[in-house]
Amino acid sequence: MSDRPPRQLPVPQPIRDDGAGATDPGPRDVMRDLENPDMLVPPATDAGLLPNLKFSFSDTRMTLKHGGWSREITVRELPVSKTLAGVNMRLTPGGVRELHWHQQAEWSYMILGSARITAVDQDGRNFIADVGPGDLWYFPPGIPHSIQGLEEGCEFLLVFDDGSFSDLNTLSISDWFAHTPKEVLSANFGVPADAFNDIPREQVYIFQDKVPGSLESQRIQSPYGTIPLSFKHSLLAQKPFKTPGGSVRIVDSSNFPISKTVAAALVEIEPGGMRELHWHPNNDEWQYYLTGQGRMTVFAGSGAAATFDYRAGDVGYVPFAFGHYIQNTGSQTLWYLEVFKSDRFADVSLNQWMALTPRELVQNNLRVSPEFLDALRKEKWPVVKYPGYTEGVRHR
């Protein structure tokens, strides 16, 4: 610890540039106000009613186990998030998320470190792979699987295609054994009942084990072969679609065929850049912020719009077809995931739509200049940056 006192940050006040508002003498949580400048002083364009579209993993309850931890954001924490639920999990070196399965599909992104994942499908075809930073996996509903941290441990994000999911409420092998009569286990496996004297009495969930040997040393040859469609995909290794202001990597069932219910984009926004005004014609958007900070305004029609501030570790949400942008408000590159309960990624660019619509129609509808119409792009640029056009953004 340093001897120096913490740097004094200016205390923000709920007063807009035009003088609207008044000071807040308290009680107040200044730390929260500093993190949410667009809620303390909303842009004057914010109006109307929108549900909450932000929840931080830092506001969730950790489940701590020997071997790792987990925490989740579901419809219980963020009521609007009906399509998808997220779990943030860490496993120590050798730590195991036990053998289990669930009714929902599991789509996952490895943030840090590496893990070994295993699964067996309904036809006895097995799967084992090691996953590292930027890799994905997808387990279809009902397919049994496990995750184990390798040498350096790991941290990852799990996304389930049902907002009411809970990772604490899955079907676990230990839980099933604990709730099956011993004589039934004995009859099923053809061994004496005392083989089960030491089995866990309840769901294990996560446990500490030793780091496993090499992938080859653990591989079991199935007489039925291996699964036909890989459960693993290297997203970060994909060649990005680079545009002025950042990059995008898109993954859905077209390039990761097993991922039939989840589509996603890994988006990078440089300082001063923004994910352009757009919407999605297929489903709600669930976001996970990986690094940096940004703000998003969601437009809901009927004059309603609301702005939220996000930073690494936050989840954001956009209801189906609502317009939005994400602007990098920090000095660091902003990385986040857009995730959809869909077999495909799809978005509509406001800029491209206008560029491909008769000029007179656009001009008379919005009363804009010919110069504005000339600046429209027929190509889609998901992430934009125009030097000199980012004034007015409160960089933090």
Give 41 or 73: the residue with its C-beta nearer to Mn ion.
73
Nearer to Mn ion, 41 or 175 (CB): 175
Choose between 285 and 309: whose C-beta lies nearer to Mn ion.
Answer: 285
SS3 128: strand
Sheet strand arrangement including 241-243: 54-56, 314-318, 285-291, 334-340, 263-269, 246-251, 241-243
- Which region among 7-15, 206-214, 285-293, 302-310 touches Mn ion (by CB under 5 A)? 285-293
Q: Give the nearer residue to Mn ion in terms of CB position, either 36 or 297.
A: 297
Q: Which two tokens stand for residue 75?
A: 């419809």
Strands 95-101 and 206-208: antiparallel
Q: How many CB atoms are closer than 10 A to CB 153?
A: 19
Told to judge if 338 belongs to the known catalytic residues of this protein, a careful annotator would answer yes
CB of 103 to Mn ion, least distance (A): 11
What is the 8-class DSSP label of residue 40?
Answer: H
H/E element holding 184? Answer: helix 182-189
Binding piece for Mn ion, criterion CB under 5 A, among 178-186, 211-219, 283-291, 309-317: 283-291
CB of 269 to Mn ion, least distance (A): 12
Using the rule CB under 5 A, give the single segment among 102-110, 112-120, 266-274, 358-366 that binds Mn ion.
102-110
For strands 348-349 and 274-279, give the pairing: antiparallel
Asked if residues 132 and 110 have their Cβ atoms less than 8 Å apart, the reply is yes
Q: How far is the CB of 312 from Mn ion (least distance, A)?
A: 18
Q: 3-class SS at 30?
A: helix
CB of 324 to Mn ion, least distance (A): 6
Q: Is 314 in the site for Mn ion (CB under 5 A)?
A: no
The binder of Mn ion chosen from 38, 77, 106, 175 (CB under 5 A): 106
For residues 53 to 92, the per-residue mask of contacts with Mn ion, x marking binding by CB under 5 A and - elsewhere, is ----------------------------------------
282 and 340 Cβ atoms separated by less than 8 Å: yes
Please count the other Cβ atoms lying within 10 Å of the Cβ belonging to residue 282.
17
Give the Cα separation of 316 and 296 in Å (integer): 9
The pattern of x and - marking residues 322 through 341 that bind Mn ion according to CB under 5 A reads --------------------
Closest residue to Mn ion: CB criterion:
106
| Nearest alpha-carbon partner for 241 in 382, 386, 133 | 382
Q: Active site residue: 72, 338, 360, 391, which one? A: 338
Cβ closer to Mn ion: 41 or 294? 294
For binding to Mn ion (CB under 5 A), which residues are involved? 106, 285
Residues serving a catalytic function are 338
